[in-house]
Amino acid sequence: MKFLDLARVTIRSGSGGNGCISFRREKFIEYGGPDGGDGGDGGDVWAEAVEGLNTLIDFRYQQHFFAKNGQPGMGRQRTGKDGDDIVLRVPVGTEILDEDEETVIADLTEVGQRVCLARGGNGGFGNLHFKSSTNQAPRRANPGQPGVEREIWLRLKLIADAGLLGLPNAGKSTFLAATSNARPKIADYPFTTLHPNLGVVGVDGAEFVMADIPGLIEGAHEGRGIGDRFLGHVERCSVLLHLVDGTSEDVAADWQTIITELEAYGGELAFKPRITALNKIDALDDEERAERIAALEAVAGPVLAMSGVSREGLTEVLRAVRAKIEKDRKLARDADKEDEPWRP
């Protein structure tokens, strides 16, 4: 299935049905009177987060979603049928943005979350509604209210506990394949990874979800390479694992390139907890390892050494990632407890 994380759709709620002008006329009934019913309400447009989806590809083939209109009222005091709602089923982690692509309407982060994107129009009143002691035969009825039409953007941000960052060919996909059941494409040329991959990683009996995104290059925030639009998939992560290619001539410059792109991207991504790991140490001798680790620690602080191919140091890296995730979860639980109302 092709991966798609951004889609624009047009939605329209249903219009309300018109009210009816009708009078009761029956044989042997001396007095008739108004009996026009109200129109039915138009259908709403909803978005709902559901299980089993991890891409917005369905919205590439259908971009228009229109709810049904309400039926008009009828004589004999009959109300028109309400229009059927329409539901956009989206993956968990989908942000719904207004037409400007900046205003967040809703963020669906849990299965079953629903949000109404467009309310249907109310049905109009029939002439029965306007009957009064001074107006026994009203000849007026209200039209139904029109529906709402708008364009919205759906942006998917994968929900993962940890995210992988690094330059192209830093070994992110190899690391994910070595630590999980995910099987991303791996090759020796840049930008092998063209879309995010998710893998369930286990260490010491605990599991967490890790996301691998396409590599960044200098100028990614200006659209160079694949750009930085995939960084949204690691915005929800508790920790970022920054892999640096140990075979590079200047590991400090490689590290700084990614940090610069994170800062240019904005938001809280640049301030998330990070773990820096020097990858591909199986291709280095002891002297080169010490030299590259020292150069990286001078700019990045503590550095872990590992190899996705030989699996050297993998367990230590995963334990460090797991510790950061558990710390973040504990902070979230404590924050929820503070928000809970007091109970005697």
Q: Give 324's Cβ-side CA count (13 Å radius).
A: 19
- State which residues of the chain have pLDDT below 50: 1, 342-344
168 known ligand binder: yes
What is the rounded distance in angstroms from the CA atom of residue 18 to the CA atom of residue 115? 27
194 known ligand binder: yes
- pTM score, whole prediction: 0.80
Which of 125, 124, 106 minimizes the C-alpha distance to 116?
106
What is the rounded distance in angstroms from the CA atom of residue 319 to the CA atom of residue 330? 16
172 known ligand binder: yes
Domains in the chain, CATH or no CATH each: 1-156 (2.70.210.12), 162-339 (3.40.50.300)
> Do 306 and 279 contact (CB within 8 A), yes or no?
yes
54 known ligand binder: no
> Do 22 and 35 contact (CB within 8 A), yes or no?
yes
Report pLDDT for 338: 63
Residues 328, 334, 335, 341, Cα dihedral to 10°: 160
Q: What are 124-154's pLDDT values in tens digits?
A: 999 999 999 889 889 999 999 999 999 999 9
Report pLDDT for 202: 87
213 known ligand binder: yes
Strand order in the sheet with 149-156: 64-66, 6-12, 149-156, 94-97, 104-108
258 known ligand binder: no
307 known ligand binder: yes
23 known ligand binder: no
Which of 77, 83, 82, 81 minimizes the C-alpha distance to 141?
77
**Token pair in block for residue 137:** 């035969």
What is the rounded distance in angstroms from the CA atom of residue 101 to the CA atom of residue 115? 18
Which residues pair with residue 118 across a beta bridge?
Answer: 45
What is the rounded distance in angstroms from the CA atom of residue 21 to the CA atom of residue 5? 50
**Token pair in block for residue 177:** 């394949």
133 known ligand binder: no
49 known ligand binder: no
308 known ligand binder: yes
Which of 261, 257, 252, 268 minimizes the C-alpha distance to 301?
252
The secondary structure of 90-124 as a DSSP string is EETTEEEE-TTS-SEEEEE-STT-EEEEEPPPPPP
Report pLDDT for 194: 74
**Token pair in block for residue 192:** 């092998």
Q: Which residue has the tokens 């809280």?
A: 268
Report pLDDT for 344: 41
Which of 92, 117, 105, 115 minimizes the C-alpha distance to 233?
92
